[in-house]
Chain A
């Protein structure tokens, strides 16, 4: 995957029945491509955050965000610049490994700082969370052994704290400790 045409939208919505259908329906109706989508409750009660990676090769991002914002339940939309945001994704994979290959896969998991979740006679299940690019690399290396099943969550992202905010956070903590 090339990130050239991909943009990350962080969309804060009222957590109400059907809101995901509204968002997904809008994308389908206006022929916008969703590359990945992740949704879960946000920090404030009654709100969810949807992280959408959109493919805007053909459609200006501005039109997508404006149309999204017209949905009554969409409260806030931020476009996250990959250089100024933290992105994470989780990957689960079951890899075909006979006894002779198992050690190699385990080593790979260790290199990537992943986890072994289950070990079977002919397969093991592993997990890895991290930047989506790192997951891409991991996935292609695992593929060499034979992927039985693979599930990725799609990325979630938040803006990076700027320097001041980071320092403030630290001093707050120190304040509390003192």
Chain B
């Protein structure tokens, strides 16, 4: 069957099971948009290509399926760089298809030409320029295979216009052909049996163990296995920013988030542990603080599918390269074998009572506002949380509101938390929330945003309104670039440089209404609950609540950049008892 490269492209996407693509047409990708009219694939027309990328990410975050973005050449491709890098840092499976000038024009500085594969080489797991229509099906299969296997990540296919318009003989490569075409790509799934046995032994010997769960748990769909391991061994779990929801916050063994803005117990438990069982995390600098002072007495078991993560930051005593689900299940088996043959788990009683002491003395806390005082952002989050239907997906931008979201929400299910962890992309939340809602229309999707973030990508609410994707946005509006303000207050002698955003402009309610959303402004604590109730009752269009919150509020605890985790700054009310964190 002879078809065009464009038809082959769309057919290939259908064959890969793609149900939705996020995109925006333009000159070079035009031929691909014609067969799209006849396709079962839903296309969501964005207002800016960056939005398409973050929507694809949000979609992938909550569904586990690769998000797909389809855009044209030149400026569209450069607009994809941020979402690609974001997906690369957070290991999000995503396939981006860009148009390119005709093969005959490549290298001539043609209209809307750019070196897309060159520009995106270091922000994709792999990318490819297709030079012949015959190569389309294989390139698509490779892109999906690479994006979704091993350590997931973004891939990009750059397709010149004449490749889309020329004819090819349709074929669909087999799995074997795809694997054979990538001789240098063989992700290791099965951890080494000897290392797994060694890990089981160390776990049973440890008196002060901590399970350090990272985003890899979610990528490997290993939440159940993690829970079984934690319950079998009765070991506390910390969940990194990328792993919120991978282990239920309501579980008695859950210590919550460690790191720069983690809670004091999670931070200190890692710090004082004699064994860190790292499952799919990467010893990010936001977790470790000053690396030379991080968890000085801990041995390390490190399970990661990416061999390059082993020893990159912290040398593991037991490196295990493999899929987190497979490896955890094997570790569980090995532990059960040891227990069955008479090995007795070390006594962790003293450690557990130390931890419960910390939990009691150092809960997350903020000072509630007195009547007549400004609204506290944490209070808004608590009210949003307590009114959210079960299964609600929370999406956040980057900054103070992100940290408060992670701190004050209760994540009890995997895939209910979407944020930009590694790259820290302001403007992530609105489009990512739209992508998440497209994947799960039956779930409530709340985006928590800052006023700074919102202004970066808010135009995608037009997309949401027009495409009938009823997401809900809560802006914690303090008229500042809040996190930068916090650093200037704490580390630059309150010299505020270029962080003040106007409290009057824009008018977020009018802006929301103009984009086809419902806009609600909230200034005082008593308005909070009615506004949330109203927002939760609206399901035919997006809603934006503009919460006017206290600009002086800071995120605590905090380990300042470059500090050791032992020197975590606590909320003022807890500083006097910090000696109890020993």
Contact = CB atoms under 8 A, between A and B. Distances in A.
Choose among A13, A25, A66 the residue with the greatest number of B CB atoms under 10 Å from its CB: A66
Given A17-B129, A18-B117, A70 B122 contact: no
A92 B581 CA distance: 67
Contact of B182 (A13, A62, A66, A72): A72
B182 A70 contact: no
Interface residues on B, range: 10 to 19
A110 interface: no
A118 to B, nearest CB: 35
A136 B118 CA distance: 36
A69 B151 CA distance: 13
B129 A75 contact: no
Nearest to B307: A66
B312 A63 contact: yes
A71 B184 CA distance: 8
A74 interface: yes
B311 A72 contact: no
Given A21-B118, A75-B184, A70 B146 contact: no
Interface in B128-184: 129, 146, 182-184
A29 B307 contact: no
Given A14-B184, A74-B184, A21 B129 contact: no
Contacts of B1: none
B317 to A, nearest CB: 16
A22 interface: yes
Contacts of A73: 184
A78 interface: no
Given A66-B307, A67-B308, A21 B121 contact: yes
Contact of A72 (B117, B118, B146, B310): B146
Nearest to B183: A75
Contacts of A71: 184
A141 to B, nearest CB: 42
A58 to B, nearest CB: 14
B496 interface: no
A27 to B, nearest CB: 11
A25 B184 contact: no
Contacts of A22: 121
B306 interface: yes
Contacts of B306: 70
Contact of B121 (A13, A18, A60, A67): A18
A63 B126 contact: no
Nearest to A63: B312
A78 to B, nearest CB: 14
Interface in B106-126: 117-118, 121-122, 125-126
B307 A69 contact: yes
B185 interface: yes
A105 to B, nearest CB: 44
Contacts of A63: 308, 311-312
A72 B183 CA distance: 8
B308 A14 contact: no
Interface string B300-317: 000000111011100000
Interface in A58-116: 60, 62-63, 66-67, 69-76
A70 B308 CA distance: 8
Interface in B272-325: 306-308, 310-312
Choose among B146, B184, B308 the residue with the greatest number of A CB atoms under 10 Å from its CB: B184
A67 B182 CA distance: 17
Nearest to A17: B129
Nearest to A19: B184
Contacts of A17: 129
Given A18-B117, A63-B312, A67-B308, A72 B122 contact: no
Contacts of A69: 184, 307-308
Interface of A: 13-14, 17-18, 21-22, 25-26, 29, 60, 62-63, 66-67, 69-76
Q: What are the nearest 5 A-B pairs in CB distance? A: A66-B308, A75-B184, A72-B126, A74-B184, A72-B185
30 contacts: A14-B183, A14-B184, A17-B129, A18-B117, A18-B129, A21-B118, A21-B121, A22-B121, A25-B122, A29-B122, A60-B311, A63-B312, A66-B308, A67-B308, A69-B184, A69-B307, A69-B308, A70-B306, A70-B308, A71-B184, A72-B125, A72-B126, A72-B146, A72-B182, A72-B184, A72-B185, A73-B184, A74-B184, A75-B183, A76-B184
Given A17-B129, A18-B121, 6 more contacts: A18-B117, A18-B118, A21-B118, A22-B121, A70-B308, A72-B146
